[in-house]
Amino acid sequence: MKQFFSTLFCWLGRIRNFLINGIFIVFLLVFVSAIFSAQPEVPDSAALVIEPHGQIVEELELPAPGALPFDFSFSAPNQTNLHDLVEVILHAAHDDRIRLLVLKLNDMEKTSMPKLQELRRAITTFKSSGKMVIAVGPNYSQSQYYLAAMADQVFLDPMGVVALQGFSIYRNYFKAALDKLHIDVQLFRAGKYKAAIEPLIRNDMSDADRAANKVLLSVLWDAYKDDVADMRGIKTGRLQSLLDKPATFLAKYDGDYASLFKAEGLVDELADYHAIENYIAGAMGLPSGSSSDYASIDFYQYRAATASELPVAKKMQVGVITASGMIVDGEQPPGMVGSESMIEMIERARLNPQIKAVVLRIDSPGGSAQASEAIRNAIVHLKASGKPVVVSMGSLAASGGYWMAAPADEIWASPTTITGSIGAFGVMANFEKGLEKLGVHTDGLGTTSIAAGIRPDRSMPPQLNEVMQMAMKHTYRRFLSIVSDGRGMSVEAVAKLAEGRVWTGVDAHRLGLVDALGGFKEAQNAAAKLANIEADYSSVWIKPPLGLREMVLLKLFGNADAFASDLLAQSASVFGFALPASLKLDIDQYARILSLSSGRPQIFTLCDTRVSP
């Protein structure tokens, strides 16, 4: 009997291994086939469907790795690359196979004004080719509506809403909560406007921060209203009144939002899905009722299908390096700006003889002062090799982001870019009183007054307190000097614009912190002009080297190629993809700042201005 069960379990184990290996091989074959399958083709007389998913970003974040070197237990990023979108729309403008553009925006998340304006320029080029743009959606958020307003025909569901509400800046403030927890926060800062740490030491917004934010919001909101008014042919005053007194306007339509939006000219037609599909078919020259017959291709498929049609790289090149995310030390994945990662890419640009100039695309709130300085030094070294460096600012290029930008030959910003924030701060948290309340006490001895270093369970030694104060002032003076040298301004003039205050691009241009207002393409042209190659050049993206895992993940989640939609759906059920939380400086980030107090002293150049629609 014992032998029987032993043989039975042995065969069951073999069958199990056979099934598992068989399933793995089948999956692997499907996976490889999907990656290396034939490129999709662009049908003749087709509608190009632009349907951004999640956040629109400068650089796609890769899913965090699992425990194994090639582990698939990851979360898929819910993002769309801005530059891929722009490239596709511009290519389609001159593609005779594309008849019109359909904007389906209901999956697009909140997007900053500079990115929206980059997309607007691309859609304007598409419309100038004589092709039609149609926007469809059951509802529109404020970001979604900005792009929809570009369309020749804006459709809204009869039960839909255009959720315009304006811009705001609100934060959670934790001083009272920290007091209740008996956590002492010791602050070191240079700059009265440096608001990133205010939530740790206040219960409300300071007057200085409120004054600066009022100016900032006014510029951003005026830009949004002016653009929408221009695109829709309505008056900015009317739009302001509508949002100041929505109940008054809505009462005239018995609570029917959709009818109100149509009457005010925000949308053109109220229609359901089938009516919209019939309209698109008619716009493409098909008979009424043939909505299922018109040809279409989505953004991902179109980019994959036209990859071979892109211009061949030329001998004279402008290298493009993306610095997107928080600035930290060491090597970091896409979505973070690691000092070593950035230096490696800058060095590759310096040593490549075909690259004659570099555009540094910055979209960062700042971060570590030490990491920012290391990257700045690499940029100075790049310039010393004779290659011009032009900075193109995205949504946010402040604090450490501006520190990196300062030595550039030219700095370009969008009128609505948030920049400046020239200041520095450090935060040390002390849990000694809270621990004592719990009956936990700290005692000991050391060979010097600072031997214990900085510990979260004991008060900072007076000598270290003075050291941090002096180091903060030194960092601030260093920041002022860097900006002074880079911008050709006196230290005194820079100091008047500093104090940690943030500026919009239009104000930064007026004050001399940036050289010109314009988008990414204008910055590329400026770099080519400085290198005297504007007559014949191409751009090349410089990216960190990727391992096998990263290359596969980019294939899966990047916009470079498209999988069939059913395969993606099956992958979602197999892997259990989850959407990552949005990266923002909130409670988690403040907790991270506090946690750094247990290590070596940290000095941050960080901007915490988040504008919410």
Query: Is CATH 3.90.226.10 what the domain over 315-536+586-606 is classified as, yes or no?
Result: yes
In degrees, to the nearest 5, what angle opens at C-alpha 584 toward C-alphas 240 and 592? 145
Tell me, yes or no, if the two domains 46-164+266-308 and 315-536+586-606 fold the same way: yes
Q: Domain 46-164+266-308 belongs to what topology?
A: 2-enoyl-CoA Hydratase; Chain A, domain 1 (3.90.226)
pLDDT in tens, 394-449: 999 999 999 999 999 999 999 999 999 998 877 778 888 888 888 999 888 888 88
pLDDT value of position 434:
85
513 and 487 in contact (C-beta within 8 Å)?
Answer: yes
Least confident of 140-144, 498-502, 604-608: 604-608
Mean residue pLDDT of the chain comes to 84
Sign of CA dihedral 211, 213, 215, 221: negative
Annotated catalytic, 194? Answer: yes
Least confident of 55-64, 226-235, 313-322, 567-576: 567-576
pLDDT value of position 560:
38
The domain ranges of the chain are 46-164+266-308, 315-536+586-606
DSSP letter at 137 equals -
The average pLDDT across 547-560 equals 52
Annotated catalytic, 399? Answer: yes
pTM of the entire predicted model: 0.83
pLDDT value of position 268:
97
Candidates 546, 545, 537, 543; CA nearest to 387 is 537
Least confident of 208-212, 301-305, 359-363, 546-550: 546-550
Rounded Cα distance, 608 and 171, in Å: 9
> Residue 599 — pLDDT band, cuts 50, 70, 90?
very low
pLDDT in tens, 472-518: 889 999 999 999 999 999 999 999 999 889 999 999 999 999 999 99
Rg (CA), the chain: 27
Residue 532 forms beta bridges with which residues?
none
Sorted by sequence, the CB contacts under 8 Å of residue 424 that are 6+ apart come out as 189, 190, 191, 194, 369, 472, 475, 476, 479, 603, 604, 605
Set 141, 339, 364, 399: catalytic member? 399
pLDDT in tens, 288-300: 666 567 899 999 9
pLDDT value of position 568:
38
Longest dimension (CA), the chain: 94
pLDDT in tens, 360-375: 999 999 999 999 999 9
pLDDT value of position 406:
97
DSSP letter at 284 equals T
Task: For the chain, give the percent of residues with pLDDT over 70.
Answer: 79
The average pLDDT across 437-464 equals 86
Indicate left, alpha or beta for 576 from its phi (over 0: left) and psi (-120 to 50: alpha). left
Whether 566 has a pLDDT exceeding 70, the answer reads no
pLDDT value of position 547:
56
Q: Which is more confident, 196 or 211?
A: 211
Rounded Cα distance, 60 and 53, in Å: 12
> Residue 19 — pLDDT band, cuts 50, 70, 90?
low
Backbone angles phi, psi at 146, to 5 degrees: -55, -45
The average pLDDT across 332-360 equals 95
Set 194, 225, 356, 387: catalytic member? 194
Helices marked H in 257-338: 257-263, 273-283, 299-305
> Residue 552 — pLDDT band, cuts 50, 70, 90?
low
Whether 168 has a pLDDT exceeding 60, the answer reads yes
Whether 62 has a pLDDT exceeding 60, the answer reads yes
> Residue 112 — pLDDT band, cuts 50, 70, 90?
very high
The average pLDDT across 175-190 equals 85
402 and 360 in contact (C-beta within 8 Å)?
Answer: no
First to last CA, the chain: 73
Whether 384 has a pLDDT exceeding 80, the answer reads yes
Backbone angles phi, psi at 104, to 5 degrees: -110, 105
Whether 10 has a pLDDT exceeding 80, the answer reads no
Residue whose tokens read 């921060």:
209
Rounded Cα distance, 379 and 387, in Å: 10
The average pLDDT across 176-196 equals 81
> Residue 355 — pLDDT band, cuts 50, 70, 90?
very high
